[in-house]
Structure 1
């Protein structure tokens, strides 16, 4: 068994050895979500695993780095990403605009990375409450981490990435007239530690869980070295994570404009500048993979992000985004085009076959 370093080999392992396990884990969490007594929390929990399953699929690809520990990696990735997606739903769909409430909820993400931490009362500042689903996700993450001999070597890096992610979620979900100022002030406090970029680009870099998944997957290997921990965090954050989230916001522009949601791509003066900055993030993401073992795999992740996001059906519904997507695919080479075509084919197959019936049924 080895880490795949070619597109065809990667996708073969993804479809055969990753997605089936991801789907089984998601199914199990959906059954637990359906047992939540509070109707609002049940709806948001079920919707998060139904509508955002592709987040767990994408994160699950990182498990291939774990080799024999792949199943443990997937178990952690699905649980942790489900916490992220569930809390995002609670903050996005909530009538609350209280940053203290958002901080209380997101304490779950730090607890999930702290073996031995007792789950807290994450809902203490809101009326809707439940006492098993979220704490169950937290404890599942801890359980996997407790089985990793190298956990002490990655703990600090995990918590750093988690805390900066949670800070973003708190700032971006407050009242609309407060969020930009909060995000800009937050950026200024960190600016000197990072390469030249705009405040909204920094925010995008903090909004991905890929670095956490990479750390956990690598730490499950018997040949993990102490120096890998910092190297992984520095390679994935900011640029690889930034590329991930900027692509996510790129394809969501029309939807976010209609809903009045924050979208970091709105802050670019025009699509020409947006394209230039996306190319910069792609180039920097590729450059930073050179510092890691299995650098070819990480470069495939970068190209896979391009293909997966730019092949989304949302792209074809937005003329300017469609034009930009084609330009980006053409400029990024044959591997990006391979993942782009693969992404389109996969989505078409998923529409025709009842593969995800377990996610589509029993909607609340």
Structure 2
């Protein structure tokens, strides 16, 4: 935690400040508004993701630069789709082509806005993609992990397309999509698979290892991906949805927590995801690091203001903290103090 606060977080804020300045210069008002909002309201996504840069050793700055740029793409597109002037799946697909492109060195950038009215972002999205490409070009083992990072990015992109179309089409599209993939994951429900596809943690972990190791094999990359997908990533996004339930209800947004039979079903499944995630991380190199991150996932979300201000949510959260044990309690108190001090 000392390394995170002393070395990682300041670099995250340094790079985010640069992207915020670029976002302020976006000519189109709608694109500018969503870009700025995604940075201002989702800073903690970059802060949390950048913890993986510690796996890369001395070259962590370049990894933080990559993680901030890639997470900024994710948050920006999420805002564009959530608060979209469009409900066109072709538009969402085109926007999200930027995510596998950003993970492929030398890939040509495309017109990601070709299916929407708002187009002029002053090169903002293209700059984010090219920054990611430049960073991965410096990671010595990135070619060994690229196939797995792109697979995760494609799952993420599929999810974003299916969950943002017309409301009546969302569940049918997501359930059909799940039917194509359910044999490749452990027993779970369609909305849990969707949650597992919505995280960038596996990508950040793979990229960080590729930056710090001179030689990795594709087999090692597959094992690392298995460690994170589906259970760790699923826990990550289920926690995200868990704290956003009231907000999503008000906005009419799809929230995967709404599909559980009842609160007991939801909490017991989250506990199941936590246990399965812990199990899947044990074979990985630096397994104690990864398992601490898994414990921290629960804590970071439960330290959010949305939980503190909602007594019912806080009560449910205490049960999840107990599931995580002492290390989760440590991260919870740590996260609570950090957010109180920083005002985030």
Normalization by structure 1: what TM-score?
0.92
Aligned residues: 342
Contact (CA 8 Å) 2:281, 2:287: kept in 1 or not?
A: yes
Q: Distance in 2 between matches of 1:137 and 1:106?
A: 13
Residues 98 and 129, structure 2, Cα contact 8 Å, conserved in 1: yes
**Equivalent in 282, 290, 293 of residue 282 of structure 2:** 290
Q: CA deviation at 1:317?
A: 3.0
Q: Equivalent residue for 1:335?
A: 327
Tell me what 1:270 maps to: 262
The one of 68, 71, 74 aligned to 2:64: 74
Counterparts of 1:136 and 1:76 in 2: how far apart (Å)? 12
Is 1:259 the counterpart of 2:251? The answer is yes
Q: CA deviation at 1:110?
A: 1.1
In 2, Cα distance between equivalents of 1:312 and 1:16: 22
Deviation of 1:320 (Å): 2.9
Residue from 290, 298, 301 that aligns with 1:309:
301
* SS of corresponding position for 1:293: coil
Moved more, 54-63 or 149-158: 149-158
Match of 1:154 in 2: 145
Alignment of structure 1 residues 231-246 onto 2, 5 Å = 231-246=223-238
Residues 218, 224 of structure 1: 8 Å contact kept: no
The alpha carbon displacement at 1:316 in A equals: 2.7
Query: Match of 1:225?
Result: 216
User: What CA deviation, in whole Å up to 9, does each residue of 1:302-352 have, x standing for no partner?
Assistant: 11111100111111333332211011112321111111111111111012x
1:291, distance to aligned residue in structure 2 (A) = 1.4
Q: Is the 8 A contact 1:250 1:265 kept in 2?
A: yes
Equivalent of residue 323 in structure 1, options 300, 315, 322: 315
Partner residue, 1:4: none
Structure 1 residue 94 displacement after superposition? 1.0
Shift of 1:224: 4.5
Q: Deviations over 1:158-201 (max 9, x none)?
A: 11000000000000000111100100000001111111000000
Contact 1:308–1:340 at 8 Å: present in 2 too?
yes
- Report deviation, 1:84: 0.4
Q: Which runs of 5+ in 1 are unaligned?
A: 1-10, 357-364
Say whether the 8 Å CA contact 1:254–1:318 is kept in structure 2.
no
What TM-score do the two structures reach when normalised by structure 2?
Answer: 0.98
Q: Report the aligned-residue RMSD.
A: 1.1
Which of 4, 10, 17 pairs up with 1:14? 4
Does the CA contact (< 8 Å) of 2:63 and 2:208 recur in 1?
yes
Aligned mates of 1:307, 1:195 — CA distance in 2: 25
